[in-house]
């Protein structure tokens, strides 16, 4: 079959000594910046771009993409160990991953993250090899109206992320939406709630809120408890590897997460930011173990980790086949290709088969390298949890500071993070879950942007959301979800899902 | 404690601000501030030029991204840095537009900075969706007169937005402006046929055009671009003298000694004349500027600021 001949060509290209070497550099670097909270792949790739000028095009792309998916991979480590999400995608990993770590099962959580990511990476590599061109066509069918409806669905689903009381969750969602309003209005260019500060003109950075609410809030909360109680926080570390039963229980969540992540990752308009959230929400609804979600369910780590890796890799599909950047990293990759004299587009597959298939094959090799590198490291990472807290917390605070500063080299952002740290502490006191707020904070501005753009193009006619089939179906699913959540007959079941204890 | 460290800091700054003579300039690594995040057009320009300048001057040029508020955050930061020639700022059309776009700015582009040289420019394009029944600028204008057309830009007050507004005004048409956050999503919506047309930089649409997913009608520069010489200009196909490209220039804080500004100007001109930089910029879809003096650069920037001022006043847009 042709596909095997192609993959064989790809493997030959990717397995050459220099390509393997740069792939290794890429994933190691990616893991490192992923582990350091806040430092993202965008800045790293931009800085390394000039170095790639001297390399072969395929080698350059292999290294740069290694950084990208390596970072997705490393991001889960700090999320699980110290409740610190470095990127949008690791927010939900915090929920159950950190609980697992507290119970002394950090090793298992990390192993689950590694295995899920590898599985998703392998599956999506095959997906790219088999179906790239037709899938890319799907991305173009999504206009502003469709994105609006998709994001609405995400927002409705965010209610499921919460445990505890529903009013609290709704309050947090609204708060997230309000925080998302800060910044320049896309249509008119008017700055909203910026109080004259240029630093607020582009809105509040996600990293600032995440580091403040999760990182600093957690630190303050932990310090408040006496050192005695704190030492009880982390129980004895039990088994690094998964048992057979645990392994069985993560297979289905892994599959569902991969599927959801691949679909959302292909959409260039921010679909991939939904992948880990929606995978978690779905799992919480349908998992047999849903009672334990939020209290350390291993399925709650497997699904979002698979989804975020699948989403990250699926975003290569529109980039490679259409030259469409679905995020900033892909825009940089296109830049890297153009500097090498390659025009991204469908002709890349036919004109540069070694480049295309070499890159595809290197993704699989890269994922394999990540597992080989990271599984032995788990033992080392887990020891981090048993570091005395009076040594650990200053490090967390410093890394939060460095991470936030590095996003846009702004000390203003660091002060803002402190404010959100205080807010995070108050949320803990009030038993308010920050995860739904984070999701609505990310989705709110996108919903507004797509809503207004859709209306602008449709000349102000709101029917556009119902006359376009994809948009109408998505809104239909929204309605069904709302009915399920509010219907009295079903409320009892919902409460079983929501309320802890 | 804080006070002592403040005094120390002031002392250090005072020493570093002592007059440096152009002969032994630069004495330490230089900083090039960019008002946009890594990965954008400004960043690519800065890194390309920065590396070459560093090689020529024997000191490293560190690119320092200070994104925010359409390039205003970076300019605010750079305006306050020591004016010893070691601190540079990359500006583009955006900052020249901002002068008139924002009601209040915390820096003055003309007073706080001295231009060093124009580096180069990226052409904008008039681009339409694949199935819009027009083949050239004339037909596009004619169609816009018969029905309402939408055009996408990379944001309210962006160079692309102004390109569209100047185009509409000169052609005597009215179109619906659909602003995006950056050019990525707007190109996708053009390829998907969600918007009728767009004003986008040439490199952002050229791939899609080669695949037949969008049609590039013309470039917005006065002369055809070296990177795509087969694409006609708006100037030659319907609207004489129409011009609106996205240019990039290097400036320094205005107190920088003139002989150092002169030295930097010579170095930049040497860089953009080199085949290496020309080729790098070419690959980015940009044209390197012709050799230009500081006076010429200064006059060019002033002229651009005035031009945008009148357009923005006519359009009645204002950012608070």
Per-residue 3-state assignment (H helix, E strand, C coil) for B135-153: CCHHHHHHHHHHCCCEEEE
- Is residue B139 less than 8 Å (CB to CB) from chain A? no
- First and final C-alpha spacing in chain A: 55
DSSP run (H or E) holding B250: strand B246-253
Partners of residue A140 in chain B, C-beta under 8 Å:
188, 191-192, 213
Give the nearest chain B residue to A324 (CA atoms).
Answer: B188
Length reported for chain B:
320
- The residues near B71 (Cβ < 8 Å, ≥ 6 apart) are B35, B36, B42, B91, B92, B94, B95, B98
Confidence check: pLDDT of B40 > 80 = no
Across A73-82, A230-239, A241-250, A332-341, least confident range: A230-239
Q: How much is the pLDDT for A154?
A: 83
- The residues near B86 (Cβ < 8 Å, ≥ 6 apart) are B26, B27, B28, B29, B30, B31
The span from the CA of A340 to the CA of A333, in Å, is: 11
- In total, how many domains does chain A have? 1
- Is residue B43 less than 8 Å (CB to CB) from chain A? yes
The span from the CA of B302 to the CA of B226, in Å, is: 26
The span from the CA of A498 to the CA of A294, in Å, is: 10
Q: How much is the pLDDT for B254?
A: 94
**A500 pLDDT band (50/70/90 cuts)?**
very low
Domains and CATH numbers, chain B: 26-121+246-315 (3.40.190.150), 124-219 (3.40.190.10)
Mean pLDDT along residues A328-336? 81
Q: How much is the pLDDT for A412?
A: 92
- The residues near A165 (Cβ < 8 Å, ≥ 6 apart) are A431, A498, A499
Q: How much is the pLDDT for A492?
A: 53
For residue A59, what are its two tokens? 């080698």
In this structure, how many other beta carbons lie within 10 angstroms of the beta carbon of residue A238? 11
**Higher-confidence residue: B55 or A332?**
B55
User: Closest partner residue to B178 among A338, A346, A453, by Cβ?
Assistant: A453
- Is residue A40 less than 8 Å (CB to CB) from chain B? no
- Put simply, the answer to whether B65 touches A409 (Cβ < 8 Å) is yes
Mean pLDDT along residues A434-460? 89
- Is residue B70 less than 8 Å (CB to CB) from chain A? yes
Partners of residue A339 in chain B, C-beta under 8 Å:
280, 283-284
**Pairing of the two strands B197-201 and B150-153:** parallel
Window 99-138 of B: residues touching A by CB (8 A cutoff) are 101, 104, 106
In this structure, how many other beta carbons lie within 10 angstroms of the beta carbon of residue A484? 13
Smallest CA–CA separation between B276 and chain A, in Å? 12
Partners of residue A460 in chain B, C-beta under 8 Å:
none
- Is residue B212 less than 8 Å (CB to CB) from chain A? no
**B300 pLDDT band (50/70/90 cuts)?**
very high
Q: How much is the pLDDT for B1?
A: 46
Partners of residue A188 in chain B, C-beta under 8 Å:
156, 317
Mean pLDDT along residues A339-359? 80
CB contact at 8 A, A277 and A153? no
Radius of gyration from C-alpha coordinates of chain B: 21
Q: ipTM of this model?
A: 0.81
In this structure, how many other beta carbons lie within 10 angstroms of the beta carbon of residue A78? 28
B168-189 residue pLDDT tens: 999 999 999 999 987 778 888 8
- E strands, B18-112, are 30-34, 61-65, 87-92
Closest C-alpha among A50, A75, A76, A48 to residue A63: A48
- Put simply, the answer to whether B38 touches A144 (Cβ < 8 Å) is no
For residue A24, what are its two tokens? 């290794």
Confidence check: pLDDT of A501 > 50 = no
A/B interface, count of CB pairs below 8 Å: 144
CB contact at 8 A, A217 and A425? yes
Please state the φ and ψ torsions of residue B32, each to the nearest 5 degrees: -115, 110
Structural domain harbouring A113: 2-498
- Put simply, the answer to whether A335 touches B284 (Cβ < 8 Å) is yes
- Is residue A410 less than 8 Å (CB to CB) from chain B? yes
CB contact at 8 A, A79 and A97? yes
């Amino acid at each position: 079959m042709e596909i095997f001949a192609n993959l064989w060509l790809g493997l030959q290209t990717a397995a050459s000594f220099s390509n393997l070497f740069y792939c290794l550099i890429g994933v190691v670097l990616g893991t490192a910046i992923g582990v350091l909270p806040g430092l993202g792949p965008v800045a790293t790739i931009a800085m390394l771009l000039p170095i790639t000028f001297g390399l072969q095009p395929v080698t350059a792309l292999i290294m740069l993409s290694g950084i990208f998916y390596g970072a997705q991979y490393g991001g889960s480590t700090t999320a699980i160990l110290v409740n610190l999400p470095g990127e949008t995608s690791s927010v939900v990993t915090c929920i159950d991953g950190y609980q697992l770590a507290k119970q002394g099962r950090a090793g298992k959580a990390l192993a689950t993250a590694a295995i899920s990511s590898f599985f998703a990476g392998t599956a999506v590599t095959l997906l790219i090899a088999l179906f790239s061109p037709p899938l890319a066509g799907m991305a173009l069918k999504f206009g502003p109206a469709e994105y609006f409806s998709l994001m609405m669905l995400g927002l409705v689903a965010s209610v499921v992320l919460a445990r505890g009381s529903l009013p609290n969750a709704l309050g947090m969602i609204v708060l997230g939406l309000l925080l998302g309003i800060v910044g320049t209005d896309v249509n008119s260019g008017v700055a909203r709630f910026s109080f004259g500060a240029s630093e607020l003109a582009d809105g509040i950075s996600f990293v600032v809120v995440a580091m403040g609410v999760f990182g600093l809030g957690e630190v303050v909360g932990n310090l408040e408890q006496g050192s005695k109680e704190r030492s009880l926080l982390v129980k004895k570390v039990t088994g690094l590897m998964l048992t057979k039963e645990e392994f069985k229980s993560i297979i289905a969540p892994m599959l569902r997460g991969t599927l959801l992540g691949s679909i959302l990752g292909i959409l260039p308009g921010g679909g991939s930011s939904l992948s880990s959230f929606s995978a978690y929400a779905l799992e919480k609804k349908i998992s047999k173990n849903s009672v334990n979600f939020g209290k350390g369910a291993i399925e709650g780590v497997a699904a979002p980790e698979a989804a975020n890796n699948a989403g990250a890799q699926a975003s290569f599909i529109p980039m490679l086949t259409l030259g469409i950047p679905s995020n900033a990293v892909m825009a940089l990759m296109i830049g890297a290709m153009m500097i090498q004299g390659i025009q991204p587009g469908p002709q890349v597959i036919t004109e540069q088969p070694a480049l295309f298939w070499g890159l595809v094959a290197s993704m699989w090799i890269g994922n394999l390298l990540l597992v080989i590198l990271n599984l032995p490291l788990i033992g080392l990472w887990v020891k981090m949890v048993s570091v005395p807290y009076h040594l650990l917390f200053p490090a967390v605070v410093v890394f939060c500071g460095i991470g936030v500063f590095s996003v846009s080299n702004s000390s203003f952002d660091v002060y803002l993070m402190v404010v959100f740290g205080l807010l995070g502490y108050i949320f803990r006191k009030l038993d308010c879950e920050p995860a739904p707020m984070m999701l609505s904070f990310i989705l709110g501005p996108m919903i507004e942007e797509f809503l207004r753009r859709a209306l602008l193009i449709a000349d102000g006619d709101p029917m556009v959301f119902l006359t376009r089939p994809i948009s109408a179906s998505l809104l239909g699913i929204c309605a069904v979800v709302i009915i399920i959540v509010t219907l009295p007959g079903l409320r009892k079941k919902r409460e079983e899902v929501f309320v802890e204890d | 404690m804080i006070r002592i460290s403040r005094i120390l800091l002031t002392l250090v700054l005072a020493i570093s601000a002592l007059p440096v003579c152009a002969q032994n300039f630069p004495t330490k690594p230089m900083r090039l501030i960019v008002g946009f995040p890594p990965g954008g057009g400004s960043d690519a320009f800065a890194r390309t030029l920065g590396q070459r300048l560093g090689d020529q001057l024997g000191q490293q040029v560190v690119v320092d991204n200070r994104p925010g508020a359409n390039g205003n955050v970076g300019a605010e930061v750079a305006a306050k840095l020591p004016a010893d020639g070691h601190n540079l700022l990359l500006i583009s059309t955006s900052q020249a537009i901002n002068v008139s776009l924002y009601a209040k700015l915390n820096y003055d582009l003309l007073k706080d900075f001295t231009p060093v040289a124009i580096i180069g420019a990226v052409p904008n394009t008039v681009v339409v969706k694949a199935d819009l029944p027009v083949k050239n600028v004339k037909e596009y204008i004619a169609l816009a007169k018969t029905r309402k057309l939408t055009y996408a830009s990379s944001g309210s007050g962006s160079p692309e937005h102004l390109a569209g507004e100047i185009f509409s005004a000169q052609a005597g048409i009215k179109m619906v402006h659909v602003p995006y956050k950056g050019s990525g999503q707007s190109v996708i919506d053009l390829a998907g046929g969600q918007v009728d047309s767009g004003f986008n930089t040439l490199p952002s649409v050229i791939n899609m055009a080669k695949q037949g997913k969008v049609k590039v009608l013309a470039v917005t520069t006065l002369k055809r671009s070296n990177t795509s010489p087969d694409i006609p200009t708006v100037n030659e196909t319907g609207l004489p003298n129409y011009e609106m490209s996205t240019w990039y220039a290097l400036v320094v804080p205005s107190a920088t000694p003139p002989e150092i500004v002169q030295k930097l100007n010579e170095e930049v001109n040497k860089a953009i004349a080199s085949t290496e930089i020309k080729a790098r910029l070419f690959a980015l879809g940009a044209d390197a500027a012709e050799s230009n003096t500081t006076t010429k650069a200064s006059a060019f920037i002033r002229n651009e600021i005035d031009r945008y001022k009148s357009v923005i006043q006519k359009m009645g847009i204002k950012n608070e």
